[in-house]
Amino acid sequence: MKILAVGDVYGVAGIACIEQRLRALRNQEGADLVIVNGENCAPGNGMDVRGAEAILDSGADVITGGNHSLRQLSCHSFLEDEPYVLRPLNFPDAAPGKGYCIYSGVYGYRVLVINVQGQIYMNSTVDNPFIGVERLLTRLKGQYDFAVCDFHGEATSEKAAFAACFDGKISAIWGTHTHVQTADERVLPGGSGFISDLGMCGVEESIIGTRAEQVVKFYKTGVHARYEAAEGRTVFCGCLFDIDPQSGRCLSVKRIRI
């Protein structure tokens, strides 16, 4: 089973990139399940209904989120109602939405899709992602055939530690949030596929999707202004995991950058 994981979709340009490229890439690679991080698909910041629906209409099966998932108030009921649109599992229990789903639309296999947020350098209060996922896997034992996880975090060390902790228990683990694709894709000793960060879908000549000159000004002056999305040629980043659904072992990991 081939699972295509797509990096953070950033703003209007990111949505256009997804609309132009996702379905064709899905067909080209023969992806059976497509999971896209959409936490910043709204103009400005966060996720909105229009952006999320555009991602789903473009060929995504599941949307994952991150620290900005709840930024747009208008999206809260959408997170509650849509079974395959997620926010991090370790958000407070009272937060709208859910942190996992079980997707059974591929050959009858039950794929547990988990979304979790890191704690290091994230400036937000979330529960321990390691403990939260351990509890989830124990609680859902026997209800899924294999699991995959989007770890939304800043520190590559935390992502790598999470992957080492769940090697052999979660078939594919990928990082999101930094918008910078890493070159460490591999199959871990226990059989889990891993990459520290998928990268993003957004404007290539930018600082993680925003206008470079605004970010440079902030670093020179310390004065923070509201960032604006960059314009120009887009980049599409993701990773393809080939998984044996019977054993749950990842057979190969292919990094994608278009």
Which residues are catalytically annotated? 68
Q: What letter would DSSP give residue 224?
A: -
Burial class (CB in 10 A: 0-12, 13-18, 19+), 240: buried
Contact criterion met (CB below 8 Å) for 245 and 145: yes
Closest CA to 9 of 167, 238, 205, 206: 238
Whole-number Å distance between alpha carbons of 221 and 251 = 49
Whole-number Å distance between alpha carbons of 76 and 87 = 10
Using CA atoms, how far residue 78 sits from 19, 48, 84, 132, 250, in Å, is 21, 9, 10, 24, 32
3-state secondary structure 196-219: CCCCEEEECCCECCECHHHHHHHH
Using DSSP's 3-state secondary structure scheme, residue 18 falls into: helix
Q: 40 — phi, psi (to 5°)?
A: -125, 35
**Beta bridge mates, 111:** 103, 146
Contact criterion met (CB below 8 Å) for 193 and 156: no
Whole-number Å distance between alpha carbons of 233 and 92 = 38
